[in-house]
Amino acid sequence: MSATESEMAKPATPLLNEPMRRHTSWRVGGPADRFYEPASVAELQEILAALPRATPLTWLGLGSNLLVRDGGIRGAVIATGALPRDLERLDATRVRAGAGLPCALLARQCVRWQLGPAAFFAGIPGPVGGALAMNAGAFGGETWDDVERVTTIDRAGELHERARGEFTIGYRSVRGPEGEWFLGATFALASDATTASGLKAMLARRNATQPLGRPSCGSVFRNPPDDFAGRLIESAGLKGARVGGAVVSEKHANFIINAGKATAAEIEELIERVRALVEKQSGVRLELEVRVVGEPRRGR
Ligand SMILES: Cc1cc2nc3c(=O)[nH]c(=O)nc-3n(C[C@H](O)[C@H](O)[C@H](O)COP(=O)(O)OP(=O)(O)OC[C@H]3O[C@@H](n4cnc5c(N)ncnc54)[C@H](O)[C@@H]3O)c2cc1C
């Protein structure tokens, strides 16, 4: 067996009790029992095949839409951040992107190729895998608008090619075959005249209205039909509301900022306060866009 083959045959070693605050954009979250960060699909397949079926799995992209509770995550976290950043132009209008490719790189290359609509991907902080899972959207575009097919991986490490029709797509919601996660997608695009300076202008407009330099998870709540969560929160007088280190942004009321040493429990408490006050004032019950995972710290 060559050195490379013997290295490949070694089972991947997880980080134990890895603090999830290192892997979430809110910079909060307790330890994950086991944290795997495979560098290739082959390594990921090996990890999945070796993990006992009873081990709970939590999939992680950039952690930009996740609130991990302070007690951390039991079982295994599979982080996709080190997977290859594949991007290939298949023909005149179709491109294939891997789950680990940052959406911003997809946007920039599609603008160079004069293909779109893909510039909106520049507004989504995470990689393609997380955007597929969330049907993330920005500037009026959504991830699944132009998906033709996706590659998924199941619990046993088997790969599947799936057509778009096998998924039910909604606003920040995607339902498909149970127990499968995204490894990449083929997008069917069209020719598009967005320029690099047009892209820059879109991002500048957004910078002016959102607190992008502060630790957050973007929009906390989904927009209710025909309204905006930010407008409802602002109308309830909640800009600047605070629990410990968690603060409702003054710049955009649907953002909660970790202003220092916030805990996940403080963020959750602020979320519930905002929800209760908005419901009392407007009758609208806001639904979460951010996904909450893990366990509260013991003793709470
Ligand atoms: C400053 C800021 C601005 C933002 N602006 C926007 C915006 O304009 N529009 C928007 O839609 N979102 C926005 N977001 C939220 C977030 O960036 C998106 O939802 C993004 O697509 C999440 O990707 P991620 O890789 O970070 O997912 P994570 O937070 O890591 O995970 C989110 C969910 O997806 C699952 N998941 C992750 N990867 C996979 C995979 N490969 N297969 C299956 N499931 C997976 C996770 O298990 C989890 O349930 C913003 C966030 C921040 C911090």
Average confidence (pLDDT) over 239-263 = 97
pLDDT band at 10 (very low <50, low <70, confident <90, very high): low
2 noted as active-site residue: no
Ligand 1 geometric centre to CA of 213 (Å): 17
Position 239, amino acid: K
pLDDT band, residue 298 (cuts 50/70/90): confident
* Tokens 């509301």, residue located: 241
State the distance from the centre of ligand 1 to the C-alpha of 37, rounded, in angstroms: 17
* Long-range Cβ pairs for the range 135-142 (8 Å, 24+): 135/169, 135/170, 135/171, 135/172, 135/173, 135/174, 136/65, 136/103, 136/172, 137/172, 138/206, 139/202, 139/206, 141/117, 142/171
Whether residue 29 has its Cβ less than 6 Å from ligand 1: no
129-144 mean pLDDT = 96
**pLDDT bracket for residue 229 (50, 70, 90):** very high
* pLDDT at site 12: 75
Whole-prediction pTM value?
Answer: 0.95
Name 249's Cβ contacts closer than 8 Å, sequence gap at least 6: 211, 214, 216, 239, 255, 256, 257
Picking from 226, 233, 194, the residue whose alpha carbon sits closest to that of residue 108 is 194
**Ligand 1 pocket: which of 124, 221, 288 to mutate (most atoms <8 Å of CB)?**
124
* DSSP symbol at 262: -
Kindly tell me if the per-residue pLDDT of 253 is higher than 60.
yes
DSSP label of 138? E
- What is the reported pLDDT for 300? 52
Atom of ligand 1 nearest to the CA of 210: 1
Q: 1 CA distance to ligand 1 centroid (A)?
A: 41
Is the shortest distance between the CB of 100 and ligand 1 below 6 Å? Answer: no
Q: Which of 21, 34, 69, 172 is catalytic?
A: 172
The one catalytic residue among 25, 64, 216, 219 = 219
Query: pLDDT by residue (tens digit) across 69-128?
Result: 999 999 999 999 999 999 999 999 999 999 999 999 999 999 999 999 999 999 999 999
What is d(CA 139, CA 53) in angstroms, rounded to the nearest whole number?
A: 40
